[in-house]
Amino acid sequence: MSTRTTFLGLLVVCLMVFCSSNATAQAARPGELAPIDAAARAAIVDSVTAIIDSVYVLGEPAARIVAEVRRALAAGEYDGIDDPAEFAERLHHDCQRVNHDGHFRVFALQPLDPSTTAAGQDENPLDVERRNRYLKAINYGFKKAEILEGGVGYLRFDSFSRGEEAYMAAVSAMNFISNSSAVILDLRNNGGGAASMIRFICGYLFEENTHLINWDNRAENSTVQSYSTDFVPGKRITEQPVYILTSSGTFSAAEEFTFDLKNLERATVVGATTGGGGHTVASYYFDFEGFRIGLRVPNSRAYNPKNNEGWEGVGVIPDIVVKSEQALDVAHADALRKLIEAEEDERVKFVYEWALKDIDSRLDPVKLTKKQMKKYEGTFGPRRVFLKDGELWYQRESGSPYLLEPMDKDLFRVGDIGYFRLSFGRDSSGGIVKVIGLYNNGRVDENEKESD
């Protein structure tokens, strides 16, 4: 073990950031590193347990983890494990077996390039450049921004990145949805990231600087209070209702963002309970001959300052619990219902109602038998409705045919034409006598059914 990595001087880098549980994708694999002996295994255990003992956020579990790993070493349970990557994985497994924590990780890495080490750098500049190119390629986690039917803004972002370019991406995304009637933030695929991005995005959602959460650091015996950013470029989103979509994969920083907005009654959470990672993590790297050992150890606990409760191990429970794949439609529908209830302008209300009808029909689809579909067949002036291959189709004169999808009794979605729907009128005996074209601007046209 090099002199620069003894315990009192082995702290290479300590990042007070959120990391997702899969943050070690670049870890070395078995067979890639030079073998180790008993002395190296003992040195690794000494390094790892010293950090856990002094830094891990929960004192009692930390003591149990340290005792178990040292016991296993003394008992010879690690004898014969000569691959650094396999040994790191075994240590990780043993620590998690004592106390599971989604932020905790032990892993092995390739050694630093000698030129990097000589320059006093903790990372190879080429690795930094590759990471930056990757982040740019995924737009710093901002995956999709659009305006849904009814003027509801939708933003999916899959990580809380940091840095100037990431903030610029956030500015563009938040300003794009700033005129929405309601806002849906999709974190179902968000595994975490930087706390600074939480504060930045929250700056758009509150009128003024707002206390979000507290963090207790065991090793430093300190408390950090986190606040939303007091300035953001562009327009704030403070009057619109906000929805957050979650899944079991929503983790770490994504959970804090959800937790903060839910507790502050700024957002309605829709989906599945989140992953349960309520600790920050410090990263440590220990240099050995021919390899490095990395340790990500939780060092701070997050909690609501009003009741001292956090989400570690339990997750954030949604306000509306549904399967995560249904969360977007459920949130969209809930937003539209509330907008309809509050809206006095009939023209605007019609826009919301048109959108809500579509969503409700997808959440509770109507199924028709072949016998039921056959009753809709017929020619209605320039319009024709016919059955083909067990499905109902619509065609106007010599135009392209469109699949009819039932939305409600006698109401159909027409292919992918979002602005048009087809309804059927019946006589007093229940027979179909006309088709009614419905348009999203309120226009209506009708055609009588021709005699068979």
Mean pLDDT within 40-50: 96
Beta bridge partners of 105: 296
Q: Which pLDDT tens digit goes with each residue over 22-37?
A: 333 368 888 889 899 9
Task: Report yes or no: 244 and 187 within 8 Å, Cβ to Cβ.
Answer: yes
CA 435/CA 380 separation, integer angstroms: 7
State which amino acid sits at residue 247.
S
CA 329/CA 363 separation, integer angstroms: 7
Token digits for 254?
């994504």
Q: Model confidence at 117, in pLDDT bands (50, 70, 90)?
A: low
Mean pLDDT within 231-257: 97
Q: Note the pLDDT of residue 6.
A: 34
In this predicted structure, the answer to whether residue 2 has a pLDDT above a threshold of 50 is: no
* 3-state class percentages of the chain: helix first, strand second, coil last, to nearest 5: 35, 25, 40
In this predicted structure, the answer to whether residue 107 has a pLDDT above a threshold of 60 is: yes
In this structure, what DSSP letter does residue 278 have?
A: -
Task: Report yes or no: 262 and 269 within 8 Å, Cβ to Cβ.
Answer: yes
In this predicted structure, the answer to whether residue 13 has a pLDDT above a threshold of 70 is: no
Q: Which pLDDT tens digit goes with each residue over 344-361?
A: 999 999 999 999 999 999
In this predicted structure, the answer to whether residue 300 has a pLDDT above a threshold of 70 is: yes
Strands (E), 102-210: 105-109, 142-148, 152-157, 182-186
CA 333/CA 345 separation, integer angstroms: 19
> Which residues 6+ apart lie within 8 Å of 118 measured at CB?
none
In this predicted structure, the answer to whether residue 131 has a pLDDT above a threshold of 90 is: no
Task: Report yes or no: 288 and 2 within 8 Å, Cβ to Cβ.
Answer: yes
Task: Report yes or no: 108 and 48 within 8 Å, Cβ to Cβ.
Answer: no
Q: Which pLDDT tens digit goes with each residue over 301-355?
A: 999 999 999 999 999 999 999 999 999 999 999 999 999 999 999 999 999 999 9
pLDDT-wise least confident of 111-115, 169-173, 200-204, 427-431? 111-115
Q: Note the pLDDT of residue 185.
A: 98
Q: Domain 127-280+300-340 has what CATH class?
A: alpha beta
Q: Model confidence at 116, in pLDDT bands (50, 70, 90)?
A: low
Mean pLDDT within 65-94: 96
In this predicted structure, the answer to whether residue 403 has a pLDDT above a threshold of 80 is: yes
Question: What DSSP line would sit under 392-425, residue for residue?
Answer: EEEEETTS--EEEEEEETTEEEETT-TTEEEEEE
Mean pLDDT within 282-295: 93
The whole-chain average pLDDT of the chain stands at 91
Task: Report yes or no: 432 and 415 within 8 Å, Cβ to Cβ.
Answer: no
In this predicted structure, the answer to whether residue 7 has a pLDDT above a threshold of 60 is: no
> 65-78 burial, b for 16+ CB within 10 Å, e for fewer?
bbebbeeebeeeeb
In this predicted structure, the answer to whether residue 217 has a pLDDT above a threshold of 70 is: yes
Q: Model confidence at 112, in pLDDT bands (50, 70, 90)?
A: confident
Q: Note the pLDDT of residue 126.
A: 76
Task: Please report, rounded to a whole number, the percentage of residues in the chain having pLDDT higher than 70.
Answer: 91
> 3-class DSSP state for residue 145?
strand
In this predicted structure, the answer to whether residue 77 has a pLDDT above a threshold of 50 is: yes
Q: Which pLDDT tens digit goes with each residue over 135-187?
A: 999 999 999 999 999 999 999 999 999 999 999 999 999 999 999 999 999 99
Q: What stretches of 16-83 show up as alpha helix (H) in DSSP?
A: 38-55, 59-74
Q: Note the pLDDT of residue 16.
A: 31
In this predicted structure, the answer to whether residue 245 has a pLDDT above a threshold of 70 is: yes
Neighbours of 211 (CB within 10 A): 13
In this predicted structure, the answer to whether residue 208 has a pLDDT above a threshold of 70 is: yes
In this predicted structure, the answer to whether residue 8 has a pLDDT above a threshold of 50 is: no
